[in-house]
Amino acid sequence: MSAKDFATGQEVRWCPGCGDYSILKQVQTVFAELELNRDEVAFISGIGCSSRFPYYMDTYGMHSIHGRAPAVASGLKIAKPELQLWVITGDGDGLSIGGNHLIHLLRRNFNLNVLLFNNQIYGLTKGQYSPTSEEEKITKSTPLGSLDHPVNPLAFALGVDGTFVARAMDRDAKHLKEMIHRCHAHKGTSFLEIYQNCNIFNDGAFHTFTDKESKPETTIFLEQGQPLRFGANLEKGIRLDCFRPVVVDLEKDGLSPDDLWIHDEKDLCKAHLLARFFDDPNHREQHYLPRPFGVLYAVERPCYEDLLHEQLTTAVRQKGEGKLDELLAGSSTWEIR
Amino acid sequence: MTMITEIQQEVTIKFAGDSGDGMQLTGTLFTEDTAMSGSDLATFPDFPAEIRAPQGTLAGVSGFQLHFGSREILTPGDDFDVLVAMNAAALKANLHLMAPGCTIIANTDGFDKKNLRLAKYEDGQNPLENDSLAGFELIQMPVTKLTREALAHSDLSTKDKDLCKNMFVLGFLYWRYNRSLDATLDFFKQKFGRKPAMMEANIMALRAGYHYGDTVEAFTTRYEVKAAPLEKGTYRNIMGNEALVIGLITAANKAGLPLFYGSYPITPASDILHSLAQHKHFGVRTFQAEDEIAAICAAIGASYGGNLAVTGTSGPGLALKTEAMGLALMLELPLVICDIQRGGPSTGLPTKTEQSDLLQALYGRNGESPLPVIAAYSPADCFEAAFEACRIALQHMTPVILLSDGYIANGAEPWKFPKAADIAPIEVHFHKARDNGEPFLPYERDERYVREWALPGTKGLAHRIGGLEKEAGTGNVSYDPANHEYMVKIRQAKVDKIADFIPEQELSIGPKQGQALFLGWGSTYGVIKSVVKDLLQEGYTVAHAHLRHIRPFPRNLGELLQQYDKIIIPEINNGQLCKVIREQFLREVIPYNKIQGIPITKAELKGFARQVLGHRA
């Protein structure tokens, strides 16, 4: 199988150069690698540029309404637990109008995947700031700069007890593919934030993380069981001074990799700290921490749809299969002769 | 002293007390017992929106009205023959609805200084002691004191003992109406199985009330209401929301589909969620969503996945579901949206009834977005209406709005329930799997303009649907101008076409032509029918038709309207059906509107009708 097997006949209508193309390509590639059956997959999206995604995947799909894809997916998953569900959303769709639903999707932990394309701007409505836009952002709707403090999507996901919380970027195809594989493998709601460049309304928003020059200094790629290292020659690392993450230089500080923070994606405390590595790389003062990519947190917890179907089975075991005539008659009846 | 038993044709009792006094339970238990005795009946629970409104105040009065008789009972009664007043506020709030000669059963312990002050009686004035109630039969009993005495040997706290005082009153009424205690004793066993002390106390209080009637030599008369001449068959007592639940489960069963119910708690629809959650052994999946929008969206997802999907709410929730209803309409998936109406607009009157969401149901969406609308007319009828809503949704691949209201939802009546085997199945077809490589056309339609239901997971049918305008046939996104106009019209035609698959409009009573037709919908059925019945006896040539299907209307409705000189439309709103009838049939109609959060009374409507009709034909 190849990526093309999952492409539809529909002309892809994102702007040339949009980061969405890369994400689409990687999803299709991973699906081909996994040899998924198109009939057993459904994509559910809301509204926005990213939410056009289902039209381009030759699987089942629904382009629903703004912000509500998590709710639609919840009902579909209850009705058909065996389907592999992917929710496609963006920073506006998922964290602004649909923020409420995302909370409840994550805490209920349906077995499905959420890909949140974060471009820190409203694209389809032509360039207003979004809930992930940095402060003081000048846009059409904020000529004097935006006043809102931005949402931190991964801290949000951890805050509502998501069981799989990860970050990737459109420009690192290999890592993105790996993350899509991890999402697919996770049982429970996997939440993957993907930094996605909107070259029309917010070009270069993540340049500092994706640019070859700056990337080694501004990012850190997490691997399970491995020390937190970064820098062009992996010469830097993160150590924990009690609960305070500190950037160290292995050579200058005379440390070995074993002295560093060893990544453990099952450690919720550490995941919370990692999610807070959220400094603005454009204002790198003394305590700048690199932005983490990879799986911050991954644990198993029972899935909502499994629990729901267990309750149905238990109810039948306890009360016997419901009989319509008993339901119609209720507990007390009388005869008119 | 000789005890005589007086036979009565019909009686209306109002149970009234503080919202913590358990009047709803007392009324419900007495109703169950009345139903079992074979009387016809109708009930009207009326309670404050607050769970525990300020104790002893007029705002905190909770009431339960029961009208029962040995003849056909269509309404809960305009006024009452017997008032049970647990405190001064309960008396004050209800006295204006009683005619002289009627009976007041007053708990004297609820008429102390504090209660009198809270009920805003003038200083030093106690209606039980001055002669303001002369002309009424006044039965005074210190219920709190008597209950405590009856439970003297119980280990319960005084607070818990006082919770049993409503059962003392119930026991007394059972004595007064010659009833057996058995059904209520069974109920206690079920309810208090795990709390033997509470069960014992309730039983003792109930018996004490019953024996009070026997032992206190003040009472010389007991009353009896014989069974009503109802149609032969097996009956049960049923409340509206309960009947609606049974209708949904029955429809799912008859369609061979799992039932999915997505909802967010809202008065007066919450009981549907509670009740469905009790029926998981019927495969019912209940989902208490995070909000009204999620509730309907989850139902849309479940419908896409092949469940019989339903969402339930009241007016404010229907407003929130608006955009998602449009989506379901565009997706052409089956969905039932139950709106248990209450007083609006905005939060309005949560616990009071109104029929004011009709226009919202018909028109409250963006774009050209016709949805079928059907209405239930009585508590038992909620069963039929729910079943019919599901049938239309499944067979015509469309969202359907089902209107009920607070009055029907919480009201009760006897129901001659059907046998499962006698209910016709709802035939549902899913698109079959295919592997011939031919393109699947999700928006291909049959002769009723209905598309096929294609389930995710079916081989060879992978397709995308969504809220953007669809190209006819392929379902691909289309901005083509002619296609949009075509799709708007075909969606309308699909809903109009349903008229060919519903029964013609019938009369509930009256001649096929005459002076006036009373046209109604929803919970006004009982009052309209009973008024028309009386008017017919008085010599007027009037008839009553009650609409189940409001969109599309039955095909013969226009013709039916032409058979009468006047069309009178009574509604608990500001004239919503009137607008629709005028618009669709260019016919002048006479509205009768009451917008007070309470049902129209028989006397009001009859008075209006006589005025409008003038002379008899």
**DSSP structure string for B163-231:** TTHHHHHHHHHHHHTT--SHHHHHHHHHHTTT-HHHHHHHHHHHHHHHHHHHHSTT--EEEEEPPP-PP
Domain identity same for B571 and B472: no
Q: Which tens digit of pLDDT belongs to each residue from B244-293? A: 999 999 999 999 999 999 999 999 999 999 999 999 999 999 999 999 99
How far is residue B226's CA from residue B73's CA, in Å, rounded to a whole number?
A: 13
Q: Looking at the domain assignment, is residue A16 inside a domain? A: yes
Tokens of B392: 């239309």
Taking the CA of residue A96 and the nearest CA in chain B, the distance in Å comes to 15
H-helix or E-strand containing A167?
strand A164-169
Domain identity same for B376 and B466: no
Q: CB-based contacts of A309: which residues, under 8 Å, 6+ apart?
A: A81
- For A98, name the nearest residue in chain B, comparing CA atoms only: B294
Tokens of B405: 């209201």
Domain identity same for A151 and A252: no
Domain identity same for B220 and B247: no
Taking the CA of residue A318 and the nearest CA in chain B, the distance in Å comes to 8
Tokens of A306: 């499994």
Q: With H, G, I as helix, E, B as strand and everything else as coil, classify residue B315.
A: helix
Domain identity same for A133 and A248: no
Domain identity same for B457 and B540: no
Per DSSP, the residues of B266-287 read -TTTHHHHHHHHTTGGGT-EEE
Which of B372, B398, B422 is a domain's end point? Answer: B422
Residue B342: phi and psi, rounded to 5, are: -140, 175
Domain identity same for B538 and B449: no
Residues in chain B closer than 8 A to A63 (CB atoms): 464-468
Average pLDDT, chain A: 96
Q: Looking at the domain assignment, is residue B230 inside a domain? A: no
CATH number, domain at B563?
A: 3.40.50.920
Residue B473 touches chain A, beta carbons under 8 Å: no
Q: Looking at the domain assignment, is residue A43 inside a domain? A: yes
CATH number, domain at B381?
A: 3.40.50.970
Residue B294 touches chain A, beta carbons under 8 Å: yes
Residues in chain B closer than 8 A to A62 (CB atoms): 301, 304, 331, 464-466
Q: Which tens digit of pLDDT belongs to each residue from A139-160? A: 999 999 999 999 999 999 999 9
Q: Taking Cα atoms as reference points, which of B594, B593, B524, B599 lies closest to residue B352? A: B599
Per-residue confidence at A266, pLDDT binned at 50, 70, 90? very high
Tell me the CA distances in angstroms from A41 to A80, B240, B395, B455, one per residue in order. 11, 41, 27, 11
Which of B422, B441, B467 is a domain's end point? Answer: B422
Domain identity same for B570 and B592: yes
Taking the CA of residue B370 and the nearest CA in chain A, the distance in Å comes to 19
End-to-end CA distance of chain A: 72
Tokens of A180: 């899509």
Which of B374, B399, B422 is a domain's end point? Answer: B422
- For B228, name the nearest residue in chain A, comparing CA atoms only: A336
Domain identity same for B471 and B568: no
CB within 8 Å of chain A, chain B residues 23-62:
32, 35-38
CB within 8 Å of chain A, chain B residues 303-342:
303-307, 309, 323-324, 326-327, 331
Domain identity same for B369 and B404: yes
Domain identity same for B551 and B584: yes
Q: Taking Cα atoms as reference points, which of B440, B438, B436, B443 lies closest to residue B470? A: B443
Q: With H, G, I as helix, E, B as strand and everything else as coil, classify residue B63.
A: strand
Nearest to B464 among A55, A72, A335 (CB): A55
Residue A10: phi and psi, rounded to 5, are: -70, 135
Among B36, B187, B259, B290, the residue to mutate for chain A (most A Cβ within 10 A): B290
Is B238's CB within 8 Å of A315's CB? no
B262 neighbors B296 (Cβ within 8 angstroms): yes
Q: Looking at the domain assignment, is residue B23 inside a domain? A: yes
Is B327's CB within 8 Å of A65's CB? yes
Nearest to A61 among B238, B300, B464 (CB): B464
Q: With H, G, I as helix, E, B as strand and everything else as coil, classify residue B353.
A: coil
Domain identity same for A253 and A119: no
Q: Taking Cα atoms as reference points, which of B578, B571, B567, B560 lies closest to residue B542? A: B567
Other beta carbons less than 10 A from residue B6's beta carbon: 9
Per DSSP, the residues of B374-393 read EE--STTHHHHHHHHHHHHH
Q: Taking Cα atoms as reference points, which of B529, B526, B245, B246 lies closest to residue B378? A: B526
Q: Looking at the domain assignment, is residue B540 inside a domain? A: yes
Other beta carbons less than 10 A from residue A141's beta carbon: 12
How far is residue A37's CA from residue A256's CA, in Å, rounded to a whole number?
A: 47
Strand partners, B263: B288, B312
How far is residue B312's CA from residue B577's CA, in Å, rounded to a whole number?
A: 22
Which of A242, A262, A282 is a domain's end point? Answer: A262
- For A53, name the nearest residue in chain B, comparing CA atoms only: B464
Nearest to A72 among B287, B297, B455 (CB): B297
Domain identity same for A199 and A216: yes
Q: Looking at the domain assignment, is residue A330 inside a domain? A: no
CATH number, domain at A277?
A: 3.40.50.970
Is B462's CB within 8 Å of A60's CB? yes
- For B422, name the nearest residue in chain A, comparing CA atoms only: A325
Taking the CA of residue A332 and the nearest CA in chain B, the distance in Å comes to 6
Q: Which tens digit of pLDDT belongs to each residue from A65-100? A: 999 999 999 999 999 999 999 999 999 999 999 999
Taking the CA of residue B276 and the nearest CA in chain A, the distance in Å comes to 12
Strand partners, A57: A7
How far is residue A134's CA from residue A32's CA, in Å, rounded to a whole number?
A: 37
How far is residue A77's CA from residue A303's CA, in Å, rounded to a whole number?
A: 11
Q: Looking at the domain assignment, is residue A306 inside a domain? A: no
User: Residue A336 has what pLDDT?
Assistant: 84
Is A71's CB within 8 Å of B460's CB? no
Q: Looking at the domain assignment, is residue A25 inside a domain? A: yes
Tell me the CA distances in angstroms from A314 to A318, A319, B249, B260, B405, one per residue in order. 6, 8, 19, 17, 34
Tell me the CA distances in angstroms from B582 to A10, A246, B531, B561, one per residue in order. 47, 76, 24, 11
The domain tally of chain B equals 4
Residue B457 touches chain A, beta carbons under 8 Å: yes
Domain identity same for A127 and A239: no
Domain identity same for B362 and B495: no
Domain identity same for B412 and B441: no
Strand partners, B546: B520
How far is residue A48's CA from residue A122's CA, in Å, rounded to a whole number?
A: 8
Is A76's CB within 8 Å of B302's CB? yes
Nearest to A75 among B227, B297, B419 (CB): B297
Tokens of A241: 């001074």
How far is residue A168's CA from residue A178's CA, in Å, rounded to a whole number?
A: 9
Global pTM value: 0.95
Domain identity same for A162 and A146: yes
Nearest to B294 among A44, A71, A319 (CB): A71
Domain identity same for A255 and A163: no
Q: Looking at the domain assignment, is residue B91 inside a domain? A: yes
Q: Looking at the domain assignment, is residue B273 inside a domain? A: yes
Domain identity same for A277 and A193: yes
Q: Looking at the domain assignment, is residue B150 inside a domain? A: yes
Nearest to A39 among B231, B305, B459 (CB): B459
Q: Looking at the domain assignment, is residue A311 inside a domain? A: no
How far is residue A54's CA from residue A57's CA, in Å, rounded to a whole number?
A: 5
Domain identity same for B359 and B433: no
Tell me the CA distances in angstroms from B276 to A236, B241, B505, one per residue in order. 59, 10, 32
Cis peptide before B54 (omega within 30 of 0): no
Nearest to B418 among A40, A47, A328 (CB): A328
Domain identity same for A45 and A171: yes
B308 neighbors B257 (Cβ within 8 angstroms): yes
User: Residue B214 has what pLDDT?
Assistant: 86
Is B458's CB within 8 Å of A39's CB? yes
Q: Looking at the domain assignment, is residue B142 inside a domain? A: yes
- For B310, name the nearest residue in chain A, comparing CA atoms only: A75
Nearest to B420 among A59, A75, A328 (CB): A328
Domain identity same for A203 and A246: no
Q: Looking at the domain assignment, is residue B231 inside a domain? A: no
Cis peptide before B552 (omega within 30 of 0): yes
Domain identity same for A185 and A232: no
Which stretches within A35-172 are classed as H helix?
69-79, 91-92, 99-108, 153-159
For residue B559, the enclosing domain spans 507-613
Domain identity same for A166 and A80: yes
B6 neighbors B40 (Cβ within 8 angstroms): no
A209 neighbors A281 (Cβ within 8 angstroms): yes
The domain tally of chain A equals 2
H-helix or E-strand containing B569?
strand B564-571
Q: At what angle do helices A99-108 and A69-79 cross, to 10 degrees?
A: 30
* Total residue length of chain A: 337
- Going by the DSSP 8-state scheme, the letter that residue A196 receives in this structure is -
- For A78, name the nearest residue in chain B, comparing CA atoms only: B302
For residue A48, the enclosing domain spans 3-222+264-298
How far is residue A84's CA from residue A37's CA, in Å, rounded to a whole number?
A: 10
Q: Looking at the domain assignment, is residue A332 inside a domain? A: no
Q: Looking at the domain assignment, is residue A19 inside a domain? A: yes
Kindly give the parts of chain B with pLDDT less than 50. Answer: none
